[in-house]
Amino acid sequence: MQHEIVKNPMGLIEFTLNKGEKIVAEAAAMVYIKGNIVTETRMRKGGFLKSLKAAAFGGESFFVNEFVAQDDNCKLGLTGNMLGDIEAIDVQEEYSVQSGAFVGSTADLTLDTKWQGFTKGIFGSNLFMLKTVGSGKIFVNGWGGITKTHLEPGEKMILDNYQLVALSSSAQYGVVKHGNLKTTLFGGEALVIEIVGPGTVYLQTKNIMEFVRAIVPFLPKRH
């Protein structure tokens, strides 16, 4: 299997699959198929309860599509639901992933949900996030560009509460207050994520909440 991200920042990834190779993708991620690929719709690995948790708490669809090549050199194009980059993450340890960011994965990797607790609700205000199970590649979508940063042991990084896309399990993190009351009221940085290495961080350059605030004044008003 080969893959190429052919269209960023609007996020399109093309796979070249040989006979028997497969990709698992979010239900609405398929853009095009070239060649003999069979599409099978199923629940996520782990059965009904895991699929239900991913849908109810993780922002993902209940069903996924499995694309299986029947011949060599088949092409599959996938995209995400966010206006931004698609990034391939090579998963060799558990990763925490932003709700709604999943586009697809190789067949040996699946997703579960993870309770964050009321004091550790990262990725915006979500109390649940996605976590990877197994190893392989996962393909994620973010708002704007996605950048990768590696933190050395003890090295700290502070992120806005809506900028994190994915984080390796080797890093420690927590939600902390940033600045003072004036910052909270006028600076828009009340809560932030403090990450301590070692670990790998994938962050997005745009903030969905700020995008929403920017377009609200231009929406038609109800009478």
Is 54 within 8 Å of 130 (Cβ atoms)? yes
- Would you state the pLDDT for residue 11? 84
Is the pLDDT assigned to residue 223 strictly greater than 90? Answer: no
Q: Average pLDDT over the chain, rounded to whole? A: 81
Pick the more confident residue, 10 or 144.
144
Residue 9 φ/ψ region, left for φ over 0, alpha for ψ in the -120 to 50 degree band, beta for the rest:
alpha
Is the pLDDT assigned to residue 106 strictly greater than 90? Answer: yes
* Token pair of 14 as six digits: 């093309």
Question: pTM here?
Answer: 0.78
Please write the tens of the pLDDT for every residue from 82-96.
889 999 999 999 999
Banded model confidence at residue 180, pLDDT cuts 50, 70, 90: low
Q: 34-38, 50-54, 94-98, 150-154: which has the minimum mean pLDDT?
A: 50-54
Rg over CA atoms, the chain: 18
Q: How far is CA 148 from the centre of its chain?
A: 13
- Across the range 173-200, mean pLDDT stands at 70
Is the pLDDT assigned to residue 221 strictly greater than 80? Answer: no
Banded model confidence at residue 111, pLDDT cuts 50, 70, 90: confident
What percentage of the chain has pLDDT greater than the value 70?
A: 78
Banded model confidence at residue 72, pLDDT cuts 50, 70, 90: very high
- Would you state the pLDDT for residue 44? 57
* Token pair of 217 as six digits: 């004044």
CB burial class (10 A; 0-12, 13-18, 19+) of residue 106? buried
Is the pLDDT assigned to residue 68 strictly greater than 50? Answer: yes
The string of DSSP letters for 16-65 reads EE-TT-EEEEETT-EEEEESSEEEEEEEPTT-HHHHHHHHHTSS--SEEE
Is the pLDDT assigned to residue 122 strictly greater than 80? Answer: no
Q: What are phi and psi of 210, to 5 degrees?
A: -70, -35
Please write the tens of the pLDDT for every residue from 123-178.
444 545 788 989 999 999 999 999 999 999 999 999 887 889 999 999 998 888 76
- In this structure, what DSSP letter does residue 210 have? H
